[in-house]
């Protein structure tokens, strides 16, 4: 593999265990800067060791600068609500549109082949209300980790799933929308050779566009702290042969800030949240 995308040194920016009596972790997460310039991070959280089915609310932290090594811990948000058929809350992703923040997240479900992706909205990133049209998507096996981009006026949601709801090849799927609420036109955009159910090599999909190319990053779990990035000329298809980078990370996000790309790292047993510069070479 000729590596074209490389990560620099990772530095811790947030320790969820600080001032706590127990060790906490951050897993799948997202970053967003609000209208006043304040940075926010929302993410899966629980006490160590890993308790994925007990992740019942999102961590929330803030900072005036992205690379500040001491982000401030805030109260957890969006606690699991069984009345919405939520069994846990995983993998938040937020986009800002028409003066509203839209948070997409996995809400779980009683059946692994019918996992639910929900939407909550906010005007200020502090107070969240679930959308009455939930669920946005139902799919399996454990369809989760939503990520949304806008391409030429069309909203595209990426999420990890399997080739059949009961299992099969690990895949990245898309649905599209014109209003962030009504989703359809399901399409498979990446298929891995590995088969199975929970976990797998297509977790936490994240897509960016750069210089006319589209880059899909996924957590491969081979081993746990490994992510790969693939290049394509379209946002609707990547080949497993076109890998252009590999990083020692789990549940990574890519952030563009002041002309510089950054990549994050988190996960069970990792001690918190980290950032490194990301460069194309």
Domain of 12 in residue numbering reads as 5-280
How confident is residue 115, by pLDDT bands cut at 50, 70 and 90?
very high
pTM of the entire structure?
A: 0.97
pLDDT of residue 223: 94
Q: Rounded mean pLDDT of 245-265?
A: 97
pLDDT of residue 142: 97
Q: Rounded mean pLDDT of 216-230?
A: 96
Q: Rounded mean pLDDT of 92-110?
A: 98
DSSP for 37-52, written as a single string: S-EEEEEEEEESS--G
pLDDT of residue 281: 87
CA distance 163 to 141: 9
DSSP 114: G
Instruction: Say if residue 26's pLDDT is above 90.
Output: yes
Instruction: Say if residue 36's pLDDT is above 70.
Output: yes
Give the count of domains, the chain: 1
With contact defined as beta carbons under 8 Å apart, do 170 and 200 qualify?
Answer: yes
CATH at 102: 2.115.10.20
Could you list the beta-strand ranges (E) of 57-202. 58-63, 72-77, 90-97, 100-108, 115-122, 129-130, 137-139, 144-151, 154-164, 167-177, 184-196
Strand 11-14 relative to strand 90-97, pairing: unpaired
Phi/psi zone of residue 221: left (φ > 0), alpha (ψ -120 to 50 degrees), beta? left
């Amino acid at each position: 593999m000729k590596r074209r995308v490389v990560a620099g040194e990772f530095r811790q920016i947030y320790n969820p265990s600080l001032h706590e009596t127990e060790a906490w972790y951050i897993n799948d997460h997202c970053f967003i800067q609000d209208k006043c310039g304040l940075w926010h991070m929302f993410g899966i959280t629980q006490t160590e060791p890993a308790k994925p089915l007990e992740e019942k609310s999102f961590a929330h932290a803030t900072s005036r600068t992205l690379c500040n090594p001491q982000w401030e811990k805030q109260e957890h948000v969006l606690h699991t609500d069984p009345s919405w058929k939520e069994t846990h809350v995983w993998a938040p992703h937020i986009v800002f549109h028409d003066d509203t923040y839209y948070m997409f997240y996995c809400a779980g479900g009683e059946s692994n082949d019918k996992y639910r992706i929900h939407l909550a909205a906010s005007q200020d990133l502090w107070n969240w209300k679930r959308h009455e049209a939930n669920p946005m998507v139902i799919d399996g096996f454990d369809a989760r980790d939503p990520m949304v981009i806008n391409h030429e006026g069309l909203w595209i949601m990426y999420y990890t799933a399997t080739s059949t709801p009961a299992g099969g090849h690990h895949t990245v799927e898309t649905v599209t929308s014109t209003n962030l609420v009504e989703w359809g036109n399901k399409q498979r955009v990446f298929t891995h050779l590995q088969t199975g159910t929970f976990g797998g090599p297509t977790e936490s999909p994240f897509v960016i566009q750069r210089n006319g190319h589209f880059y899909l990053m996924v957590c491969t779990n081979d081993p746990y702290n490994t992510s790969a990035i693939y290049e394509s000329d379209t946002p609707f298809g990547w080949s497993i042969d076109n890998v252009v980078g590999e990083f020692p990370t789990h549940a990574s996000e890519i952030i563009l800030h002041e002309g510089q790309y950054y990549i994050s790292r988190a996960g069970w047993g990792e001690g918190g949240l980290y950032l490194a510069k990301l460069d194309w070479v």
